[in-house]
C-alpha cells in the first residue's frame, strides 16, 4: 500500500551489518543532523531491525472525530493490516505516554504479516508478553491503559516525527540494542555500501586499542595504522 520506492532486499541485508551508532555518525558527516530517536529503547535488545517506514500518526484524542468515524476502518487498523515484509511500522505518538498506542494482539498481527519491526515514541501495553515475542519492538515505556484513552489515530503513510526525528514513508528504519536511527531513503544505499566497511575499520581500531595503541595515533588511524588495517583486511580474506 505505501507509495514509496522499495529498496533491494540486498541493500536491507547489508544494513543489518551496520550499527545505529555508525549509521548516525555517517549521516552527520553527510549533513543530516537529526537521525537518532531520543528516549526510544528496545524491548528485545538482541534483535536487529531493518525496514522501510510505514507510518501511523496519532493526535490527542478528539471525541467528536471518534463519534463520526462510522463503520470505516480506522487508520490504526489500516496500518496494522497494511504493513508487510520489508516495512517497519512507525507510530508517531508525539511522545505522549499517558496510555499505550497498541498491545500484544496488534503487535502479534504486525509480526505475522511479516513486517520487520515496530517503533513508537509512545508506550505499549502487554509488554511482559511482547518481550517474549522475539521481535524487534522499540518504545519509550509501558502503560497498561488503552490507546482510546488519549489518542485519535489520524492518518497512515504521512510524514511524521518519532522520538524527535522526522520520518517519511519509505525511509529506512534501523534498530539495534542501542536504539533506532532514521536513514533518509536517498542516503540508504550509501550507508549500506560503506557502513559495513566503516564497522570493520572500527573493529580493527578497537582491537589495536585493546592491544595498547594510543587513540592519538589509531583513532582516527594515522598512515601507519591505515597501512596495518589494509594488511589486516587482506589477512582476513
Query: Could you say which residues in the range 101-120 bind a second copy, by CB under 8 A?
Result: 103-106, 108-109, 112
**C-beta of residue 169 within 8 angstroms of C-beta of residue 157:** yes
Q: Among residues 9 and 168, whose Cβ is nearest to a second copy?
A: 168
Question: In the complex, what is the shortest distance from the CB of residue 167 to a second copy, in angstroms, rounded to a whole number?
Answer: 8
Residue numbers 31-60 binding a second copy by CB under 8 A:
31-36, 38-39, 41, 45, 59-60
Residues 199 and 19: beta-carbon distance below 8 Å: yes
Distance of CA 110 to the CA centre of its chain: 15
Grid cell of 176 as nine digits? 539495534
Q: In the bound complex, what is the minimum distance in angstroms from residue 26's beta carbon to a second copy?
A: 10
C-alpha cell at 92: 508517531
**Burial bucket for residue 132 (CB in 10 Å: 0-12, 13-18, 19+):** exposed
The interface region with a second copy, picked from 2-10, 83-91, 124-132, 224-232 by CB under 8 A, is 124-132
Q: Hey, what's the cell of 104?
A: 500484544
Nearer residue to a second copy within complex by CB, 109 or 228 = 109
Contacts (CB under 8 A) with a second copy, residues 212-231: 212, 214-216, 219
CB of residue 11 vs a second copy: minimum separation in angstroms?
Answer: 17
- Residue span binding a second copy (CB under 8 A) among the ranges 6-14, 162-170, 190-198, 226-234: 162-170
Q: Considering the rule CB under 8 A, would residue 85 count as an interface residue with a second copy?
A: no
Among 54, 152, 156, 225, indicate the residue that binds a second copy (CB under 8 A).
152
- Closest distance to a second copy from the beta carbon of 10 (Å): 22
- Matching residue, cell 503513510: 157
Rounded Cα distance between 43 and 46, Å, is 9
Please report, as residue ranges, which positions from 55 to 84 form the binding site for a second copy (by CB under 8 A): 59-65, 68, 73, 77, 80-81
Counting Cβ atoms within 10 Å, is residue 200 exposed (0-12), middle (13-18) or buried (19+)? middle
Angle (CA) 220 226 232, round 5° = 120
Pick the stretch among 3-11, 13-21, 83-91, 227-235 that binds a second copy (CB under 8 A): 13-21
Element (H, E) at 200: helix 185-210
**Cβ-based nearer residue to a second copy, 9 or 166:** 166
- Out of 161, 173, 191, 192, the only residue in the binding site for a second copy (CB under 8 A) is 161
Asked whether the beta carbons of 42 and 136 are under 8 A apart, the reply is yes
Amino acid at each position: 500500500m505505501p507509495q514509496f520506492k522499495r529498496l533491494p532486499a540486498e541493500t536491507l541485508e547489508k544494513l543489518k551489518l551496520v550499527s545505529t551508532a555508525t549509521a548516525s555518525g555517517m549521516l552527520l558527516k553527510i549533513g543530516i543532523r537529526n537521525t537518532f530517536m531520543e528516549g526510544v529503547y528496545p524491548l528485545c535488545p538482541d534483535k536487529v531491525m531493518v525496514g522501510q517506514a510505514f507510518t501511523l500518526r496519532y493526535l490527542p484524542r478528539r471525541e467528536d472525530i471518534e463519534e463520526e468515524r462510522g463503520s470505516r476502518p480506522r487508520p490504526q487498523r489500516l496500518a496494522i493490516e497494511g504493513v508487510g515484509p520489508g516495512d517497519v511500522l512507525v507510530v508517531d505518538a508525539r511522545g505522549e505516554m499517558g496510555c499505550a498506542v497498541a498491545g500484544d494482539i496488534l503487535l502479534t498481527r504486525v509480526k505475522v504479516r511479516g513486517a520487520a519491526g515496530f517503533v513508537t515514541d509512545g508506550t505499549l501495553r502487554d509488554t511482559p508478553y511482547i518481550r517474549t515475542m522475539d521481535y524487534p519492538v522499540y518504545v519509550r515505556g509501558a502503560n497498561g491503559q488503552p490507546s482510546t484513552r488519549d489518542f485519535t489515530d489520524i492518518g497512515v503513510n504521512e510524514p511524521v516525527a518519532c522520538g524527535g526525528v522526522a520520518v517519511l514513508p519509505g525511509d529506512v528504519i534501523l534498530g539495534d540494542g542501542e536504539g533506532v536511527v532514521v536513514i533518509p531513503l536517498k542516503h540508504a544505499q550509501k550507508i549500506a555500501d560503506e557502513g559495513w566497511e566503516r564497522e570493520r575499520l572500527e573493529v580493527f581500531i578497537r582491537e589495536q586499542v585493546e592491544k595498547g595503541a594510543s587513540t592519538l595515533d589509531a583513532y582516527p588511524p594515522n598512515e601507519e595504522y591505515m597501512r596495518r588495517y589494509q594488511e589486516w583486511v587482506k589477512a582476513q580474506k
